[in-house]
Amino acid sequence: MSSAKDSRMATIGLGLARVNLPNPPVHNGEAALPPARVIASAVGAVSRSLDQFQTDMRAAQELISSGHAVIELDADCIEGSILKDRLGTDPQEQEALAASIRNQGQQVPILVRRHPHDAQRYQLAYGHRRLEACRMIGRKVRAIVRELDDTELLVAQGQENSARKNLSFIERALFALRMEQRGIARDAIMAALSTDKTELSKLLSVAASVPGDIITAIGAAAKAGRPRWMGLAEGLKNPQGEKKLRQLIATTAFLEEPSDQRFNLAFSALHAAAKRGDEGEAVFSADGTEIARMMSRAKAVNLMFEGSKHGDFGRFVIESLPQLFEAFKQHTT
């Protein structure tokens, strides 16, 4: 698919996502509507320029007037997108959205395509929170059905999220990595995320550097931007840091914290591990007590004992070195 086609698809998806369409006639099938003038008001118009609003409205008018009807579908016949782009949803925000749709109706349709392997089902391009809200209240969901290949679907999905600015840095990074792993061209990924080559490289680098289970444990961390995630990725290069962090994320206390606090705890744990690494690697007894620190260098290995606690043990080790060395030679021969 050409870059021009990516751009056109992105613009159409962006326009539909960012305007609040009035309720056009709802159809039970996918018969096309005749061209019609559609008057739309902006979602979040206070924070958007007039020029952008006019662009959005023209894009939405083009989509509707080109014959794509808004229809009602059973929410249970719609599957999620082919790629996940979120690390969870705030339950309170979801409840508020469900209440809004219950009281005021679904103002903006979702975008779907027919399922490639089941003619009776659909796949979501964007609008997963609206879809879930309709499921919660047992209401059919208003949708526009389009013929989309995988790249077009993902570009539309990414553009809608970029328009709403509600994906965190790490969610964007993971979405970019998953698109690339699926074989999507980088031009299309840039169009989906409204970004450039330099920023895309940073997104991919962080997503590839931080293990997926650690990202999942931390969550979206909406307040943690690129510099702090890059710092966390750098800290994970220290094996002791990753070991310490994995111990932390397995604790109940960590998992009970909100996502931004989980990130802060993880970042602090890596920073502390790096600081201790400058002082040597801890050596523990069988009961978990730190008894010494070992500093490994290219030409030397230093073993350090804290005098006030383990000085006597340190002298004992020194006196035992001849016997330990003989035992080592026998072990290695």
Query: CA gyration radius for the chain?
Result: 28
Distance of CA 249 to CAs 99, 161, 240, 257, 272, Å?
Answer: 34, 28, 14, 11, 15
How does pLDDT run across 275-319, given as a tens digit for each residue?
A: 555 566 667 776 667 788 777 666 678 888 876 777 888 888 888
Does position 19 have pLDDT exceeding 70, yes or no? no
Return the pLDDT at 66: 54
Q: What element of type H or E holds 70?
A: strand 70-73
Return the pLDDT at 332: 76
Claim to verify: residue 130 and residue 150 sit in the same structural domain:
yes
Among candidate residues 162, 193, 224, the one where a domain is terminated: 193
**52: confidence class by pLDDT, cuts 50, 70, 90:** very low
Mean pLDDT, rounded, of the chain? 78
Claim to verify: residue 148 and residue 218 sit in the same structural domain:
no
Sign of the alpha-carbon torsion through 142, 148, 152, 154: positive
Does position 115 have pLDDT exceeding 60, yes or no? yes
Going by C-alpha positions, the residue among 238, 182, 183, 172 that lies closest to residue 205 is: 172
pTM for the model stands at: 0.62
Question: Is-contact 101 137, C-beta < 8 A?
Answer: yes
Does position 84 have pLDDT exceeding 60, yes or no? yes
The more confidently predicted of residues 271 and 136 is 136
| Ordered strands of the 290-296 beta sheet | 281-284, 290-296, 301-304
Return the pLDDT at 67: 55
Report the CATH number that the domain containing residue 166 is assigned in CATH.
3.90.1530.10
By residue range, what is the domain housing residue 40? 3-193
How does pLDDT run across 132-178, given as a tens digit for each residue?
A: 999 999 999 999 999 999 999 999 898 887 766 678 999 999 999 99
Claim to verify: residue 122 and residue 245 sit in the same structural domain:
no
Claim to verify: residue 162 and residue 238 sit in the same structural domain:
no
Claim to verify: residue 103 and residue 241 sit in the same structural domain:
no
Question: Is-contact 123 78, C-beta < 8 A?
Answer: yes
In a domain, 309, yes or no: yes
Return the pLDDT at 298: 65
φ, ψ of residue 154 in degrees (nearest 5):
-70, -35
User: How many alpha carbons lie under 13 Å from residue 315 in its C-beta half-sphere?
Assistant: 5
